[in-house]
Each structure stands twice: as C-alpha cells, then as structure tokens.
Chain A
Amino acid sequence: SAVISQKPSRDICQRGTSLTIQCQVDSQVTMMFWYRQQPGQSLTLIATANQGSEATYESGFVIDKFPISRPNLTFSTLTVSNMSPEDSSIYLCSVEARPWGETQYFGPGTRLLVL
C-alpha cells in the first residue's frame, strides 16, 4: 500500500474564492484520482490524473471549476475554483499502482466548508 497525505485537512472559505488541495504519496504511483463526498453522501469521482497527460474529467465536472495538476508520480493538486456553498464537501485523493492490482488507497480527505 502507500502512505497518502493531504493538505489542508480542513478549511473554511468565502464564496467566490479558490482553494488548492495537495495530495502527496510516499511512493511513485501510476494513477491518482480525485473524489468528492458531499455531506451524508457517497463518493463521486471528479477526475483521473495521470502523470504526463491531461486529467480526465467525469460527467458533470469541468476543468475550469476543478483544475488538476500532476507534475510527477508522487504529487497532485486539485483546485476548487470560484467556490459556492454547494462546494462544501470532503475531497479525497486516491492512488493506484500496478503492484497492487486494481486497488485504490485513499488519503485522509480535505474537509471544505464554503460560507
């Protein structure tokens, strides 16, 4: 498995601002994913981020709202842009690497509250 950290762990933001969430892994991984978990809900994939290529977004999520960077095999960022209260969620990154098969391991999440 892997040790995954996220920064910040939580934040309270004003509407109209942007927040960048960092995801750091202690080993090189092929695939990184960003999920959103709205209050009391399950997880929904925002996008898949592979190093060296553009992120692939799921239906309902767009790059202008959730720009993602993947500069190397151990790091990724997700930005939540022009935030509104509806963006209040937990944002989780997960990673997958070939030695583990199709198994994803999750970071601790970033709890975001937008006022």
Chain B
Amino acid sequence: AQSVTQPDIHITVSEGASLELRCNYSYGATPYLFWYVQSPGQGLQLLLKYFSGDTLVQGIKGFEAEFKRSQSSFNLRKPSVHWSDAAEYFCAVVSMDSSYKLIFGSGTRLLVRP
C-alpha cells in the first residue's frame, strides 16, 4: 500500500533562515506528489505539485520542492522563512487505485522564531 512519511513532527527555524521539510513516499511507479499548508484555523492550501517532468517544482509563497526518485523523497524548501510561514505542512500522494484519494503524511508543524 502507498504511504507517505514526514519524519519531523515539529521544526523550529529563525525568521530569515532557510527551511527544508522532509517527505518520503512508498510507491512503485512515478507518483503524483503534493505539498499543502494549513495555517491555524484554516483549510488546506495547495503549495505545489509534481506529476512529471522537471524534478524541481516551484510553488506559491516562494516554496519549491525537489522530486528525487532514487531517494523516494519530495522535500519542500524555502530559502528565507517569514513569520507568516508558521503553519502545519502536509505532504500527500494520489492513490493510483480507482479512488484518486489523497494519502497524507502525518504533517510537520513549523514554528518560526522572531
């Protein structure tokens, strides 16, 4: 069965510092991968997605992610974090059975130090 692992439950970075959130997936073929962000009291907002092609994808709010097939990873990065980036971040993969459901990782909560 497909699965998504986000090994870091919490990450704290200083404002202006760089950020990398880890995501590993298990799936035999090329997966469809997503990063969503959930700000406190909000729904989920799509940051970026990878279906195929260029393995470095750009998203909104200055985020990017790199698909590495050899490592089964899809890590999210941002060169300079802003206080408004404090939120919960979810990595997800589309299930390739007929349901098209999203399988989510457990999430990483980002805290930003002033």
Chain B residues close to A by CB (< 8 Å) = 32, 34, 36, 41-46, 49, 51, 90, 94, 99-102, 104-107
Nearest CB of chain A from residue B23's CB, rounded to whole Å = 12
Contact B101 A33 (CB under 8 A): yes
Bound together, the chains give a CA A61 to CA B43 distance in angstroms of 22
Contact A106 B99 (CB under 8 A): no
Bound together, the chains give a CA A42 to CA B45 distance in angstroms of 14
**Interface status of A64 (Cβ within 8 A of chain B):** no
**Interface status of A67 (Cβ within 8 A of chain B):** no
**Interface status of A48 (Cβ within 8 A of chain B):** yes
Our pick among A41, A105, A109, A111 for the contact of B46 (Cβ within 8 Å) is A105
Contact B51 A101 (CB under 8 A): yes
Contact A103 B49 (CB under 8 A): yes
Task: Give chain A interface residues in 4-50, CB to chain B under 8 Å.
Answer: 4, 31, 33, 41-45, 48
Contact A104 B43 (CB under 8 A): no
Closest 7 pairs (CB-CB, A-B): A108-B43, A106-B44, A42-B104, A109-B43, A45-B101, A106-B43, A43-B104
